[in-house]
Structure 1
């Protein structure tokens, strides 16, 4: 018998049979948003980088880049800073992760707090605070000079960027590695012990290699974040790195200068390459284990010597993590703090200054980030619904396009938005690219991946049978989504909104490119402007404390929402709760 070959149906014919009009409209609206504010702007950056004066293709701009000593130096400096930040972040995170996953340590709650605390403070705020504490004339070095007659050059040049970035981003490695270690099957450890492996050998040859996926996930994220960062080097007066060079070329030479676009392309390519390399290192290897009885490493008691060693490591790390928080708080309250270990006196005047003279920084942040969070939740829910609940062709491309924002630095997106929309005028004659509307949209695009993943996780926990029951009662797709699905996802969506809001509140790279007037600028821009002068450091620190409080409150709210949802699901799945 011969099989009948069915001809392939055109895409639009498949869409008519596999999707409802509502699904098609929703997909087209999301695709239009991503196309207009992510794909086209980033694409314009690439086009300009490879475009000759007559509009043709050329590589001459890249040749000019690699012939310019400053750009070559900046490229290697960025690679060096990002790589060394991963190394030093690993020196902090790996021992902490092992302590959490392997031992019954009385400071477990403390270490868990350490894992989140650095992320609460924006890195550029931490940079200023670390100068006060560890700078050449900071608290630590002044005391060392008085007591022992020497200084530690921790905050000089590239070393200062590495120091600040390592302390800020090590939680990415800590959280990923801890989760990975917790999933290592105890039987693998027992097998190693039976073969004679003990203590450090067992850890080095068995446990850590099995947790490599978690480590590489965190390490690649640290590398990309540091490599693309703009604000921290600028605040530390380090400009011989790629991101600061791209920003300076665009803001000083102008949008017509191709070098800013060439550097932007290199930033994107290196970021994607770093993520690809992490995936390549895991390729062809099997890290799966068959867990028994819940699996996980066997947690053992610490000896007195081991407990002392752990505390000798945890206490200095705790001091380093808390140093920027104390530093920025003291600066916000200081009348004068110069060439002395502590401020001469304390005042609340700086808070009064920012609340009276520049309250728009705070109100603008609440407005822009609130709208950006709402946009992210709406688009995140829509994409998650299309991917998980429909058979619409191309739905996974929407997911991939939205997630690609992770690999696009804020600086690159900001430059692309300027190039694409600078000549588009609003009703008052102002450029659309530098308006608060566009800034809000850019904040939403930058944080969309976080909301999308949260929305996807929340929708995966809503059983299809609940939707089917509603449809059997006569409810349409939209009514089911609005009345059944979204309310059941409420906890996850609230966490998605709060996460988007909190992270958008401290976005600076894109903000520096797009914000042109103080009256339209958010909190992060205000901190940067104040910190440019010695007289503005106090008010800038006050804004920094406010930013930390905003992020901390949002982080706490997201945690509470997640815990509430977890408890609710546990009660609903436990028959004894009835």
Structure 2
């Protein structure tokens, strides 16, 4: 009886400790943000919100953000749904490698895609010059809304695609065969049978795309050319050379959170109404289509992957070109890499140092959170589960402003330190490892732990010796995904960094802004290489060739 009480107490203490940690590094900064937004000259005021909605310059950024996020979400759906369906039902040569390329294209930072398309289709881009000089034909303008839409759509399609691949595998083929036997055409079968089954998955993937598009800072900043979105507006107002207004930036941040929270709750409500479980006793099998349909399928799949991976390949290519000042010239050279290491070598070291420290904390905390939320269900663990979901809703720029407002004075003066960067990395990327760790705990039979306890093992000995080793595949999967997103983080770190904490993503961004495309391409190539190597390690350790979401 005493052992049972101790077991309960120790996991309760762990849960309380983690909640206190979240309260300190997440809730307190967000409360500071809220307080700052409603306070002016030391008194409660709505002046900042009135200022936002009074001037078109400001509130147009809200409409721009909604326009971008909705357009990107719809465009991603239009591509991802047929892509997942084709990859599930039709035999496509090289499918294994195509899956990996789709995944790799989603892991590179979006702002690298923006930079790549500027090199390709910008005013002095290689494709622009070729079309103008050869055919006297102008290319579409890649800047503004169009450019943001293209870059983010190509970047975010894989998120919905990965959700849908799991959903299609859970559809019982007997349902499709029954529909076709009743005379339904392939198209009507998709609309009447398959689409209703995958609606919850579509909503989940769409939410993730919406949140990522809403939070993105680098893409509209690089390719937007005056097409301001809310993250860009927050950054400009907070860091303005004319004297940033923290209160106004905080008010805009609150508006962003309200928009994100509204969409999140709406999606949750609809998903709960539509949710159900599927079990495929007779899963969908690939088959070779007739000639025309097969050709169309190949053109669609390979066409999308070419567009998605082309910008990344072109960046790598330009990294090996000779440069003269800020422009590329004929010939190949390693000068850009040499200059990158000379001028930005510290950014590579900072990326690994800050990233690995953050990753160590993420793994330790995620293991505990996953265990208590799955195995020790209570009001407190349910609250902890909700807290761990907040980073999905809060965009990176908002979190950056929150941390600076919360930790800008003694005794909590952390601004400008490595600690505040690590806190930001941990908060934003912890959910990836929590999710994958929790998923694998659900697969571990509780009777195994009960057997260990019945043999006299303490709760921690059982956890350490039995449960933790069985959790490791899920932990490793989440940790590698957390790592890949940490090293490409920009929207939060751009507000928090100093010279001593400048990472590769910030280095790439600043070099692009300065027009040093060779150095930017070299740093981007190194970052892409690290990303690909990390994913290969993920595949090797897990035995998978795709990432399940």
TM-score (norm 1): 0.87
Deviations 1:112-161 (A, max 9, x none): 23430212311111211111112233222223224432222241211111
Q: Would you say 1:33 and 2:13 are equivalent positions? A: no
Residues 390 and 113 of structure 1, relative CA distance in 2, 3 Å threshold: closer
C-alpha distance in 2 between matches for 1:413 and 1:286? 31
* Residue number among 485, 490, 511 corresponding to 1:503 in the alignment: 485
Q: Would you say 1:531 and 2:512 are equivalent positions? A: yes
- Give 1:262's aligned residue: 251
Q: Would you say 1:23 and 2:11 are equivalent positions? A: yes
- Give 2:238's aligned residue: 250
Cα contact 1:136–1:153 (8 A) shared by 2 = no
Residues 474 and 19 of structure 1, relative CA distance in 2, 3 Å threshold: closer
CA positional deviation for 1:546: 1.0
Q: Would you say 1:359 and 2:345 are equivalent positions? A: yes
- Give 1:561's aligned residue: 541
1:345 is paired with a residue whose SS is strand
Q: Would you say 1:454 and 2:440 are equivalent positions? A: no
- Give 1:570's aligned residue: none
Greater CA radius of gyration, 1 or 2? 1
- Give 2:229's aligned residue: 241
C-alpha distance in 2 between matches for 1:178 and 1:565? 12
C-alpha distance in 1 between matches for 2:266 and 2:140? 33
C-alpha distance in 2 between matches for 1:367 and 1:459? 30
- Give 2:105's aligned residue: 118
Q: Which of 368-377 and 281-290 deviates more?
A: 281-290
C-alpha distance in 2 between matches for 1:287 and 1:526? 46
Matches within 5 A, 1:8-407: 20-56=8-44, 58-239=45-226, 240-252=228-240, 256-285=245-274, 288=277, 291=280, 294-336=281-323, 344-390=330-376, 393-407=379-393
TM-score (norm 2): 0.92
Q: Which of 342-351 and 371-380 deviates more?
A: 342-351
2:282 is paired with a residue whose SS is coil
Residues 337 and 242 of structure 1, relative CA distance in 2, 3 Å threshold: farther
C-alpha distance in 2 between matches for 1:297 and 1:530? 48
- Runs of at least 4 residues of structure 1 off by over 4 A? 16-19, 253-256, 286-291, 337-340
C-alpha distance in 2 between matches for 1:286 and 1:477? 35
CA positional deviation for 1:487: 2.3
CA positional deviation for 1:350: 1.4
Cα contact 1:102–1:299 (8 A) shared by 2 = yes
C-alpha distance in 1 between matches for 2:524 and 2:545? 32
Q: Which runs of 5+ in 1 are unaligned?
A: 1-15, 567-578
Cα contact 1:130–1:323 (8 A) shared by 2 = no
Q: Would you say 1:541 and 2:521 are equivalent positions? A: yes
C-alpha distance in 2 between matches for 1:296 and 1:258? 55
Deviations 1:305-334 (A, max 9, x none): 111112222332232112111221122112
CA positional deviation for 1:256: 4.7
Deviations 1:430-458 (A, max 9, x none): x4122011101210110011111122123
Deviations 1:389-432 (A, max 9, x none): 33554111111101211111111111011001111368xxxx41
Residues 470 and 185 of structure 1, relative CA distance in 2, 3 Å threshold: closer
Q: Which runs of 5+ in 2 are unaligned?
A: none
1:359 is paired with a residue whose SS is helix
C-alpha distance in 2 between matches for 1:286 and 1:373? 33
Cα contact 1:422–1:433 (8 A) shared by 2 = yes
* Residue number among 395, 419, 426 corresponding to 1:444 in the alignment: 426
Residues 185 and 564 of structure 1, relative CA distance in 2, 3 Å threshold: closer
Residues 361 and 425 of structure 1, relative CA distance in 2, 3 Å threshold: farther
Larger RCO, structures 1/2 (Cα 8 Å, 6+ apart): 2
Residues 477 and 392 of structure 1, relative CA distance in 2, 3 Å threshold: farther
Residues 402 and 527 of structure 1, relative CA distance in 2, 3 Å threshold: same
Deviations 1:18-73 (A, max 9, x none): 964422331222112111111111122122222343433x4332222111111121
1:335 is paired with a residue whose SS is strand
Q: Which of 385-394 and 318-327 deviates more?
A: 385-394
C-alpha distance in 1 between matches for 2:138 and 2:177? 48
Residues 469 and 181 of structure 1, relative CA distance in 2, 3 Å threshold: closer
CA RMSD of aligned residues (A): 2.6
